[in-house]
Amino acid sequence: MKRNPDGTWRNARRAIVVSNRIIIARWVTAEILRCKLTGLSMAAIAVHISRVGQAHERPLSPFPEGIEFPTNYRISESAVFKAYHKAMDRQPAINAEVFRKEDTARCEDMFLKLQRGVSQGDPRHIDTAVRVLAHKAKLNGYAVEPEQVSISGGSGLNIILNLGGPDPCHEIPAVSEDTSGN
């Protein structure tokens, strides 16, 4: 025996009937993906979809024909989270590269908007710009974790200078501190 889209059993002689609840669920999934692409948090998406369902806001993705939300429609943040991850599991892996490109474009847009404050020397803008660049580097796989430097290891820290001469690299060993008190 086959099932209806809402999970109930159906008679083999009857056609599949897509209920209003199923249409709303499919639209909510599309709206969640659209909102996530614009960079909204799960809590903000939940508030947005609840307000759209109550006709207080306009949707980002178009409504299907004949959709009717229940009165006082609400969706929780955890329901948005579950629906988002369920939708992402259904997406083919090839879309990961598309999402990476969109996220990179979003990072570049944020960095461009921070340039004015960075050029004026605002510490908050500079800190945020560095974080955006670090996120972009991590996202694209070219972030390098800094090596752990141990002063107590005895080897110290070596500085390599590129002087551009016949011997372009010159290594300056760091002076290790004597902790014995002599």
Structure tokens at 130: 């560095």
Mean pLDDT in residue range 65-71: 83
Q: What pLDDT does 74 receive?
A: 92
Judge whether residue 90 has pLDDT over 50.
yes
Q: What pLDDT does 81 receive?
A: 93
Q: What pLDDT does 9 receive?
A: 77
Interatomic CA distance for residues 86 and 154, integer angstroms: 52
Q: What pLDDT does 136 receive?
A: 87
Q: What pLDDT does 145 receive?
A: 59
Q: What pLDDT does 44 receive?
A: 94
In the block, tokens 């996530």 appear at 36
Do 61 and 31 form a contact (C-beta atoms < 8 A)? Answer: yes
Q: What pLDDT does 18 receive?
A: 75
Choice between 1 and 26, residue whose per-residue pLDDT is larger: 26
> HEC string of the chain?
CCECCCCCECCCCCCCCCCHHHHHHHHHHHHHHHHHHHCCCHHHHHHHHHHHHCCCCCCCCCCCCCCCCCCCCCCCHHHHHHHHHHHHHHCCCCHHHHHHHHHHHHHHHHHHHHHHHHHHCCHHHHHHHHHHHHHHHHHHCCCCCCCCCCCCCCCCCEEEEECCCCCCEEEEECCCCCCCCC
Q: What pLDDT does 148 receive?
A: 44
Interatomic CA distance for residues 12 and 57, integer angstroms: 41
Q: Which of 53-57, 72-76, 101-105, 110-114 has the lowest mean pLDDT?
A: 101-105
Choice between 75 and 179, residue whose per-residue pLDDT is larger: 75
What is the β-pairing status of strands 158-162 and 169-173?
antiparallel
Q: What pLDDT does 75 receive?
A: 93
